[in-house]
Amino acid sequence: MTRNVYSIALLLLIDIFITAGSVFLAKYLQRLLPEVCLPDELLLVKALIYSGVAVICFYFQDLYNWRYWRRSSELTSSILLGGGITLIALAVLYYIFPVIGLERDVLLIALGIGLGASFLLRLGYMKLKFANNTGTRVVILGDGENAKFLFQQMRSGGYPVIFEGYIGRNNWDLPSKCLGDVKDLYTVTKNIDPDILVVAPDGWRGTLPIDDLLNIKLAFCDVIDAPTFYENITGRILVEEIRPSSIIFTRGFLSSQFQDVIKRGFDIFFALIGLVLSSPIMLLTAVSIRLESPGPIFYLQHRVGKDGKDFKVIKFRSMRQDAEKAGPQWASENDPRVT
């Protein structure tokens, strides 16, 4: 846990250095064209503000989570989305406080340099983690379909995981070696000394060697269940394997008042930005609905929120006014109710 915190802190500092440094590099490149270059006494302050906004936007794209592996395409998408949100947030900020704004060409050059450097930093880390057998060393406790699923998913996805084998009965269908029986769990795990022991049994409820698992977790390595391991590595949830205990003992459902206020503030801020940017499209949509069919432009739908409280969602009407006179129905292909 401590090592993970240090890694995130180091990455954060590197990103601050990269994003702030990209502003100075962009300004230097601008100076190669003296006719468009203007002196800027507040360049350091502007660079730090730009860096802070970029880092916050990267955070909301989960770019500081090293726990799961991203493919190059997923990383590219996250970086570009982070850059796009950064550009929108800065545009609003510069509109409100023009004095802290960077020149347009400097901003675009700095954004391009920063996004490219951040992409290469993360791509290099992931490639290094998987090269020369430096991936996460894993032993699986289980010999059935759950274990087989993990083996197949990790290998087909190219994730940085090195399977040392599995503990259980010998199963020739598993693409890895059997390290020993469950009764030898503690000894085998001690000898292998993996980074993670994944508990992935089929129907062993109530028969797990709890004492051995506890001793292993206290002495050697992390012990996690299959759904948690899958989520940590891939960033996706194994929905069919979710158990009530997984939800009960998972952190993150409760939040402090401070977190709620911060989240609400960001929600309102980005919602207003979205409304402003999409207002021309919404206007065209409203006109199209009015020309297409008679009736109101908007449609109210009831939803149930936290603590069972009802609220209404305002949507553009996309069906006839009497579309649900016979009760709610799923939309179908070539649905005649659609306007």
Global pTM value: 0.55
Q: Parallel, antiparallel, or unpaired for β 196-199 and 136-141?
A: parallel
Pair 162, 135: CB distance under 8 Å: yes
- Structure-block tokens of residue 250: 């998972």
What gap in Å lies between CA 287 and CA 169, rounded to an integer?
67
pLDDT tens for 40-58 read: 678 888 899 999 999 988 8
What angle is formed at CA 105 by the lines to CA 104 and CA 106, rounded to 5 degrees? 90
Pair 319, 330: CB distance under 8 Å: no
pLDDT-derived band at 1 (thresholds 50, 70, 90) equals very low
Pair 312, 319: CB distance under 8 Å: no
What gap in Å lies between CA 166 and CA 169, rounded to an integer?
9
- What domains does the chain contain, in order, with CATH numbers? 2-131 (no CATH), 135-248 (3.40.50.720), 257-316 (no CATH)
**Plot region of 307 (φ>0 → left; ψ -120 to 50 → alpha; else → beta):** left
pLDDT tens for 326-335 read: 666 676 676 6
pLDDT tens for 11-28 read: 889 999 999 999 899 888
